Every structure is written in structure tokens, then in C-alpha cells.
Structure 1
Amino acid sequence: MRPRPTLLAVSGPPGVGKTTLAHALADALGWPAVCRDEIKERLVTETAPTDPTDPAADMNVKTLGVFFQTLADLLESGTSLVAEAAFQDRLWRPGLEPLTDRARIRVVRCVTDPGLARERIARRAAEPARAVHGDAEFLRRIAGGERPIESWVPIALDVPCLTVDTTRGWDPPLDRIVEFAAGATIGHGGGDDGRSAASPTAAPQ
């Protein structure tokens, strides 16, 4: 019986550097990276305009379906992978939980100062490819007094979880995160959260 592949879920609220870390981990591990925002950008480019009042036309719903189907197909073939998305508990656990039977799931939880995250979102909002992601609307919510970064709720699964501070590079460093992905238990100043099912907390304020 072949060993189960690994699904390394790189998670966190907007602006914490998930995609950059996910691709660095994929390169270091030799695994494919499946990134939610990149799938959405491709779908918007490839999909013909549809009736916006049709629920089936919701691009976020389509993206979610393609994202999890891609994960399932790769895992079914025995391929370990890096999956990057917000993985906020309420929206993402229903799709990730069924994959626990076919993969060893490990979660990397990216955190940074909310002010820095807002600066990153504002910088990337000007990029043409980001138009489909609603960064401008996200910034308007923040300007209106909402705190969507601080209120992000991490996914709650009984799987190993490692918190990575992305404020200045990565802490712990990339080689330690790679060790965690490969199955090592990382003890790094409280960075190893043990199990993802621990009481969810927002990014540090």
C-alpha cells in the first residue's frame, strides 16, 4: 500500500504573503503549487461573460469548485502538493475536511501585522491581474471601520499546524518550514501550534 501524499495548506488573511511562501515551498519541495487566486484569474480569462444574476455564474463559487477538484485529482494520483488559499474556517473546512482520508494534511498559518498587510494589499491593488479579486473593495471595508484582517478565523482541523510570521522574510525560515512539511515536529519559540484544531485566533494586532 503506497503512503498517502501530503497536502500542505498555506493559509492566512489577505496581505500576509501566502502566495509568495507557497511558491517558495513548492520549489523547495518539488511539489506543484495550487493557488486559489491564480485559478480565479485563469477562469476569468477563459470564461465567456454570463448573466451576473445567475448564481451559477458566481466566479468565486466556480473557483472554489475547480480548486478543490484540482487538489482531489492530484492527491488521487499520489502527488503531494502545496495548496494556497485563505482557508478561513467556515468557508474552507467543508472542502478540505473530506481530503483528510486521502492525504496527510499539514497547515502553515501565515501572520503579520495588520497594518503591513493593508499596505501590501494597497500596493498590489494597482496590478491589472488583481482587478478580479476585489482588493479595492477590501480596502474600502477597512476604511469604513471594518477589521477583516484581524477577524479572519483560521481553519480548525485536527492536523499539525505551524505559524509563520511573514513580517520580515519568514520566521521560522524556509528550511524549517520545509522540514515541517516533510513531517518533522518544529519547536521554534511557540511557532509550532501543534494541532490546527486549537482555539482559532486572528493574526496578531
Structure 2
Amino acid sequence: MAMGRPVLAVVSGPPGTGKTTLARAIAAMVGCPAVIRDEIKQGMVLASPGYQAGGNDPLNIPTLHAFFGVLETLTKAGVTLVAEAAFQDRLWTPHLEPLTAHADVRIIRATVDPAVAHQRIATRAGLDPHRAAHGDQNLLDDIAAGRHALDAFADIRLDLPRLTVDTSDGYHPGPEAITAFLTKTA
């Protein structure tokens, strides 16, 4: 890692691309914490009786602020970490850009064929009862109705080092290349 500055590895990508699994794997490879946006939201859901996902979700904005509050606290403290969320440009960049003052931010974009992503979303919607908080069934309905395209994703436009990782079958590039990307000095 760069001397004196932590690295913030930002794992982004559309739904179903394997972001969370990749973020956890990277954190284990590097030996640092992973901060997962959906897990923060799930914790908020548990404290919100009667919560229903979808539409104008009242937890989205509080989750965004809690997520970036955690990232800011940890990077200011000098903690190297992995942060996982969709990180689409319009909503996320205004919150991500200030963190570059505290950490060397590196973007890792998870990708797969949209058909693979769709299958992953369908599988997790049926297997994980906690995923109900994240509207996977609503997303599947929107995809089927043509209201959402998994390949219409607006990447972060900040001028930061970036690496695309295909998660279709393992990780390509592999763990060594991902670690080298995160540990190279700027």
C-alpha cells in the first residue's frame, strides 16, 4: 500500500455481477475490512418494523449517509478497506470524491454477461430471505417488463485507477493481479 495513506478499494458494478463476493474475497486477500452497503441497509431494515422494499424506499438515503460516514471515519483513521456498492456515477461520485483526500481510491468494476447477472439475481431472490430488503424481485419484474437493463450502468467518472474483473467463472484477472493493482504505489 502507499506509504502513509490507506487504500480504499471501491468494488462497483450492476446487480448480479458478484460485487459482494468479490469484495469479501479482496478483503480476505489484502487482510482488511469490507464495508458492504447492502449489509448496512439490512441492519437498518431490522430496526424498521413494517419495512417494505420498492418504490421510494425510505431507507436508501439514510443508508447512503451511514455507508459513507463509515468510509470517511475509517479512511481518516488510516484504515485500508474494501467498499462495495453499485457506485453509479450520478448518486455516488459526490460522496466518493471527498474520500480521495484521505485515501488512495482504486475502482474495481465487477462484470459478467447480463444473462449471468439475471440468473444470479433470480437465484439469490429465492434463497436469501434477507435479500427482500433490497428489492431483487422488483428488479426481476422491471427487467422482464423492459424497465431496467443490466448493461445500462453508469460507471464512476472520477479519474482514478481502475480495474475490470470478470466474475463469470472465478476472477479474471486473478487474485494476484487484483492484489498488485491495490498495492502498487501511484
Written as runs of structure 1 = structure 2, the 5 A alignment for 1:1-205 is 3-48=4-49, 58-126=58-126, 127-183=128-184
| Residue ranges of structure 1 left out of the alignment (5+ in a row) | 186-205
CA apart distance, 1:49? 5.3
Distance 2:107 2:9 in 1: 6
Q: Residue 201 of structure 1 corresponds to which residue in structure 2?
A: none
Tell me the number of residue pairs that the alignment of Structure 1 and Structure 2 aligns: 180
Q: Residue 200 of structure 1 corresponds to which residue in structure 2?
A: none
Q: Percent identity?
A: 48
CA apart distance, 1:154? 0.6
Code of the aligned partner of 1:60: N
Can you list the C-alpha shifts for 1:104-142, whole angstroms capped at 9, x where unaligned?
000001111000100000000022010000001101111
TM-score by length of 2: 0.91
For structure 1, which segment, 41-50 or 109-118, has the greater mean C-alpha deviation from structure 2 after superposition?
A: 41-50
Distance 1:21 1:33 in 2: 10
**Moved >2 Å (runs of 4+):** 46-50
For CA contacts below 8 A with separation 6 or more, give which structure has more relative contact order.
Answer: 2
Distance 1:72 1:48 in 2: 29
CA apart distance, 1:91? 1.0
Distance 1:175 1:184 in 2: 16
CA apart distance, 1:100? 0.9
Distance 2:145 2:176 in 1: 40
TM-score by length of 1: 0.83
